[in-house]
Amino acid sequence: MRGPGDREPGVRPSCGSGTRVAFGGRAGAGAVLVTVKGHGRHHADMPAASRRTSAGAHGKDAMHSITPAVPPVFRCPVCAEPLERDDRTFGCVNAHRFDIAREGYVNLLLAQHRHSKDPGYSKEMIAGRRDFFDAGHYQKLADGVAETIASYLPADGPGVVVDAGCGEGYYLRRLRHLLADRSREEQTLLCGMDISKHGVRVAAKRDPKGLYAVAGTYRMPVLTDQVDILLTHFSPVSAADFRRVVKPGGIVLVGGPAEGHLYAFKELLYDTPAKHEVSDLLGTEPGFELIGTHSIRYPLSLHGPGQVANLLLMTPFYWSVGDETRAKLAAMDHLDTEVDVIVHAYRRTTTGQEPNEAGREAAEEQGEGMGGVEDW
């Protein structure tokens, strides 16, 4: 949580650059993980530029979350050149510089690419979601996603995993736990991005070894052909950006609700709830080949004050229900429902094309206006 004296990290021109740029502020035992299609193991980002934060806020302990030894992953959101890290900033050859926050993340979301003053989940919503995750309700889901990611990691050598829409970073932390158990943590760079600065702040603070940025799924500030595995879990899908940043032969994992996901919970919200329709979001996009589908299902039982209300914060239903329904959920201390999630796995092929600007902006208006990660 930011203290009264803290500032948002900013982008600063070096002396004489003449440019000042403004920018803006996401299943262990018991989970059912089934490969329905596929064959075994696959390998394959402040309203204005800020001043430099004081040295006291950027001391040695503040820099532990971003390891200087990692190869460049980010690209400059202004000019698309690679961003190199020094002890306190990321910068490119064109003198665009981005301060690293005390918690260890960098803000790469330019002001002109925001759709609101404070995009994504608010600080209060992140707190409720964090409590829900900490209670372990989605641990089986997260561990199932982690198992799926691990099954597609390169067999030898280092790998780069990006969670596009990482929220509080829960899924990456569970992945790190799994990789550490298998002695693969040091070989794999875990990188998370989300448009909610509040979520990214929590993610970076809780995962000091990770690489985190405030950034959107559209206009991703990631170098071309840099990513081995990209996860988008209940978050917007940008085929053009995914096609650019994932290397040929790499994997895109798209997680979303299956037919019965949280159905009993939906019955509390709507008179005639509908079951989810499973979508193959990248199946018709050039540059992607569907190679597997993975199902994660288990009963979810919530007990205790605030847990049912916190579940609402995990879903897009939060924006569609009224105060009366929210009060009813806040008074509940028990709910039995079901987690039912499907993850589509796509291999990045050598076909495909770069997006034109009009097409990208239309997709961005449609997809990212919802903001943030959403765990239905």
Question: Among 211, 165, 166, 168, which Cα is nearest to 190's?
Answer: 211
Q: Using CA atoms, how far apart are residues 322 and 320, in angstroms rounded to an integer?
A: 7
The pLDDT of residue 70 is 57
- Banded pLDDT at 65 (limits 50, 70, 90): very low
The pLDDT of residue 93 is 96
Question: Among 152, 137, 63, 51, which Cα is nearest to 100's?
Answer: 63
State both tokens at 53. Answer: 């934060």
- Among 1-15, 187-201, 286-300, 301-315, the least confident range: 1-15
CB atoms within 10 A of CB 246: 27
Unique residue bearing structure tokens 């770069």: 354
Please say if the pLDDT value at position 176 is more than 70.
yes
The pLDDT of residue 19 is 33
Enclosing H/E stretch for 126: helix 123-134
The pLDDT of residue 352 is 58
The pLDDT of residue 38 is 52
State both tokens at 338. Answer: 């079901």
Mean pLDDT of 235-260: 95
Most confident of 71-75, 122-126, 230-234: 230-234
Mean pLDDT of 126-141: 92
Please say if the pLDDT value at position 139 is more than 50.
yes
The pLDDT of residue 120 is 72
State both tokens at 180. Answer: 């550490």
pTM, to two decimals: 0.78
The pLDDT of residue 157 is 76
Give 111 or 142, the one with higher predicted confidence: 142
Domains of the chain plus CATH, in order, are: 26-45+119-370 (3.40.50.150)
Task: Let me know: does 184 contact 41? Beta carbons within 8 Å.
Answer: no
Give 9 or 333, the one with higher predicted confidence: 333
Mean per-residue pLDDT over the chain, rounded = 79
- What are the pLDDT digits (tens) for 145-154? 999 999 999 8
State both tokens at 230. Answer: 């990209």
Task: Let me know: does 110 contact 78? Beta carbons within 8 Å.
Answer: yes
For the beta sheet containing 96-99, the strands, ordered from the edge strand earlier in sequence to the opposite edge, are 11-13, 96-99, 89-91, 84-85
Unique residue bearing structure tokens 């034109």: 356
Three-class DSSP category at 291: strand
State both tokens at 249. Answer: 């032969």
| Cα–Cα distance list, 24 to 110, 284, 319 (Å) | 5, 33, 23
Mean pLDDT of 17-21: 34
The pLDDT of residue 376 is 53
Please say if the pLDDT value at position 185 is more than 50.
yes
Task: Let me know: does 90 contact 9? Beta carbons within 8 Å.
Answer: no
Most confident of 121-130, 220-229, 269-278: 220-229
CB atoms within 10 A of CB 148: 23
SS3 track for 159-209: EEEEEECCCCCHHHHHHHHHHHHCCCHHHEEEEEEECCHHHHHHHHHHCCC
- Provide, rounded to the nearest whole percent, the portion of the chain with pLDDT above 70: 73
Give 54 or 93, the one with higher predicted confidence: 93
- Among 13-27, 116-130, 292-306, 359-373, the least confident range: 13-27
Unique residue bearing structure tokens 């799926």: 148
Q: What single-letter DSSP state applies at residue 262?
A: T
